[in-house]
């Protein structure tokens, strides 16, 4: 293993660090399809849902937010 390979390997390991834990100040009950103001925080201007690595949300909350965004779109409360 040459020096270039070792450098690449160490860079790869650094890239896979754990996501920093962020404190979420959102009540789980507030995540609802009838609350488009809250849901818009997790959507880009073009309408794409932001990934977890950007929002820092736990997986279970991100799944719930994604589900509610899709519901909100289906009843035309959000674009």
Domains of the chain, first to last: 3-74 (4.10.640.10)
**Which residues, other chains included, contact 64 with Cβ-Cβ below 8 Å and sequence gap of 6+?**
28, 31
What is the model's pTM?
A: 0.71
pLDDT digits (tens, 9 = 90+) for 14-28: 666 666 666 667 888
Q: How far apart are CA 34 and CA 38, in angstroms?
A: 9
pLDDT band at 67 (very low <50, low <70, confident <90, very high): very high
């Amino acid at each position: 293993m040459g020096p270039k390979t070792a450098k690449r390997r160490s860079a790869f390991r650094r890239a896979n660090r754990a996501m920093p834990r962020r404190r979420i100040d959102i009540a789980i009950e507030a995540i609802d399809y009838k609350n488009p103001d809250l849901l818009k925080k997790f959507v880009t201007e073009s309408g794409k849902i932001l990934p977890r690595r950007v929002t820092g949300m736990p997986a279970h909350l991100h799944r719930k937010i994604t589900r509610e965004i899709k519901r909100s779109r289906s009843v035309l409360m959000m674009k």
